[in-house]
């Protein structure tokens, strides 16, 4: 298998961590949609030119991290899958992932609105909208902090909820400016520290 995309993308990173936890052999190839020659190659595996993308061993091209994770879960089977196959356990994990995705998507929008990665001039930024996105990220992650169990999000077993949340939380914290509302999430901070001490997570921490 080949994973395309850099770990600066939290969506690519969660696939990279999952591949390592599943001990699936793969090649990691950093392609960036912002580089024309790399975009052309990336579009062969994701027509949207977005990361991540996965090329399977039988030559199929999979786009979107949720699709890729579903494929990997099926590949390793229900006994090894980090996402429960059914029941309340699956609903709990998927709910955490859903809130996490919503929070990081707001943070990514802000990432492209201001700072060194801004895609528009400062005078064109609509401040009330950006501030609201920072607040939505805060509301999301603080809700997740209150949902956290111990030692992992759903209890004693590491699941995809932990993989996804740690990758998304790390992105949020790395790129959140001092001007944004402070996040009060001691449980998520502890979760990130615990996970990133593991080789599978540590190997994917972006520079």
pLDDT by residue (tens digit) across 134-153? Answer: 999 999 999 999 999 999 99
Distance of alpha carbon 28 from alpha carbon 31, whole angstroms: 9
Judged on CB neighbours under 10 Å (0-12, 13-18, 19+), 197 is exposed
Domains located in the chain, CATH noted: 2-76 (3.40.30.10), 87-198 (1.20.1050.10)
Q: Residues 185-192: what's their mean pLDDT?
A: 98
Residues 6-32 pLDDT 10s: 999 999 999 999 999 999 999 999 988
pLDDT of residue 137: 98
116, pLDDT greater than 80: no
């Amino acid at each position: 298998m080949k994973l395309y995309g850099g770990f600066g993308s939290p969506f690519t990173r969660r696939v990279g961590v999952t591949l390592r936890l599943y001990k699936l052999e793969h090649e990691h190839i950093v392609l960036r949609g912002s580089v024309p020659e790399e975009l052309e190659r990336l579009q062969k595996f994701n027509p949207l030119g977005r990361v991540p993308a996965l090329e399977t061993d039988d030559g199929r091209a999979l786009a979107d991290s949720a699709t890729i994770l579903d494929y990997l879960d099926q590949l390793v089977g229900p006994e090894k899958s980090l996402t429960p196959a059914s029941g309340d356990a699956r609903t709990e994990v998927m709910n955490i992932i859903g809130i996490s995705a919503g929070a990081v998507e707001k943070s990514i929008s802000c990432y492209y609105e201001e700072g060194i990665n801004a895609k528009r001039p400062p005078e064109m930024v609509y401040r009330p909208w950006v501030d609201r996105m920072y607040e939505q990220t805060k509301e999301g992650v603080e809700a997740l902090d209150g949902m956290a169990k111990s030692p992992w999000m759903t209890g004693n077993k590491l699941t995809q909820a932990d993989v996804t949340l740690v990758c998304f939380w790390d992105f949020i914290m790395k790129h959140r400016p001092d001007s944004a509302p402070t996040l009060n999430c001691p449980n998520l901070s502890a979760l990130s520290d615990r996970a990133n001490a593991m080789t599978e997570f540590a190997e994917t921490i972006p520079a």
